[in-house]
Chains A and B, each alone.
Chain A
Amino acid sequence: MKQNPKKKNSFFEHLREWDEGNFDLTEAAMGELHPPRPERKHQNMDWVHHHLVRMEAREVSFFEHLYPFMAVILAAAMILFLLVVVSEMPAFGRADTPTNTSVVIKRYIGNGLEETGAVNIVAGVILDYRAFDTLGESHVLFTAAIAVFILLLQEHDEKEKQQDLRILKNDLILRKTATVLLPLIIMFGVYVILCGHLGPGGGFSGGAIIGGGLILYSMAFNTGNLGRVINMRSYRIIVLCALLSYSILKCYSFFCGANGLHTIFTTGTPGAIFSAGLILPLNTAVGLVVACTMYGFYSIFTKGRI
């Protein structure tokens, strides 16, 4: 189990070790980032203890042999069971299934344009009819971001040595491509966010596109000037403002809805950019959160900071 990875030279040997979980391919590519943990000195233990440890090790490896068989049996059983279930379910692509004939879809499509003002019915559904789900969803992203901060946020001393190793430095092709593509990507992302209620798109997809663009820039230029725009401080302020405005706007809208009051946001003319009530501001807020969080994940995974 404990072979030194440096002795292996064939690619398949590496692959096999990675498969067993002992060895990380990326590490070999970059050289030793972390020195391997020194072997435990079993000599210090008394004989009985040493033997116990080894017995325990053997016992675990016995179960390791069983895992593939158990996995195959369990997977086969589950597949069989679920296939039988599926064979009794409504068929695919038909218009007469319970899902597609329910009253829900009729109102969403028939009255969606009138009630939400969104040409894109999906945007109307997730940001107006079922807006509470979406409120939860953006907070899932926030929760995950905080969890990742807890685990991977590093103090400033460690970051400098790691930074240079993990970033492709001075790669001409990457840099030129990024320079050309970045404005287009950001423009496209902004378009997708702002026209989320008018066509395919919305806060999540647009935010993910912008986040991808920021990651590309960060890869090519080793963060560069981006660090001045998006750092820990600005990240927190953007996310704070976006989530706060989201929660407060939606709370107001829920409150009005539940108490039978009219909101001050009207549906406007369907098809116009400033229409569909709250959908545009909510999409913008979600887009900001998603873009920053995507970039934040990348940055914190590679450098331990934003």
Chain B
Amino acid sequence: MTQILWNSRILCVAVILFAIGFVTLLLNRNLLKKVIGLNIMDTASYLFLTSLGYINGRTAPIIIDGVIEPERYVNPLPAGLVLTGIVVSVSVTAVMLSLTLRLYKRYHTLNIDEIYRQVHLEQEEEA
């Protein structure tokens, strides 16, 4: 098993990063760190996806000198998917950061529990 894991160590690193990012996004109380966790999680997915397309000893899928043998190039599809994924991740990060900024400007803290407490107090004041 160790040998298998060592052979696909890039996949292992991706999986470990995914778990770390996931847990950070879920359980960290600091909103900025949640965003960092989100990015780690997404990047781990893309690392996993890219490494699926890699084949030892082959070159990037850009046709050189008209050679169109499939045995010469790596798999082009994961690269395209990662490109799509990166843009999605950038967009989501921007929205998360702007939400964080709005909350910070209003409550002067990044701790989500503290924000929750203050919102609760505000609501009670209204009622």
Contact = CB atoms under 8 A, between A and B. Distances in A.
* A–B contact at 8 Å CB threshold (below): yes
A121 B61 contact: yes
A141 B11 CA distance: 29
Given A34-B105, A151-B99, A109 B61 contact: yes
Contacts of B99: 151
Interface in B4-57: 4-5, 7-12, 15-16, 18-20, 22-24, 26-32, 51-56
Contacts of A19: 30
A110 interface: yes
Interface in B83-103: 83-84, 86-88, 90-92, 94-95, 97-99, 101-102
A121 B5 contact: no
Contact of A92 (B8, B105, B110, B111): B8
Interface stretch (A63-71, A168-176, A182-190, A212-220): A63-71
6 contacts: A75-B20, A86-B8, A105-B76, A120-B63, A143-B91, A151-B95
A264 interface: no
Nearest to A126: B80
A173 B28 CA distance: 39
Nearest to B5: A87
A108 B94 contact: no
Chain B's interface size range is: 35 or more
B68 to A, nearest CB: 6
Interface residues of A, number: 76
A230 interface: no
A112 B78 CA distance: 15
Contacts of A120: 61-63
Instruction: Identify whether the interface residues of B are mostly helix, strand, loop, or mixed.
Output: helix
A122 interface: yes
Contacts of B107: 37
A82 B18 contact: yes
B12 to A, nearest CB: 6
Nearest to B24: A71
A127 B104 CA distance: 40
Contact of B19 (A78, A95, A100): A78
A121 B76 contact: yes
A125 to B, nearest CB: 4
Interface in A109-139: 109-113, 119-122, 124-126, 130, 133-134, 137-138
Contacts of B32: 21
Contacts of A141: 87, 90-91
B119 interface: no
Contacts of A147: 94-95, 98
A71 B66 CA distance: 52
B11 A92 contact: yes
B62 A21 contact: no
A110 B70 contact: yes
B98 to A, nearest CB: 4
A91 interface: yes
B10 to A, nearest CB: 5
A141 B5 CA distance: 37
A138 B51 CA distance: 25
A94 interface: yes
B62 A200 contact: yes
B4 A148 contact: no
A299 B97 CA distance: 14
Contacts of A74: 23, 26-27
A147 B96 CA distance: 10
B114 A21 contact: yes
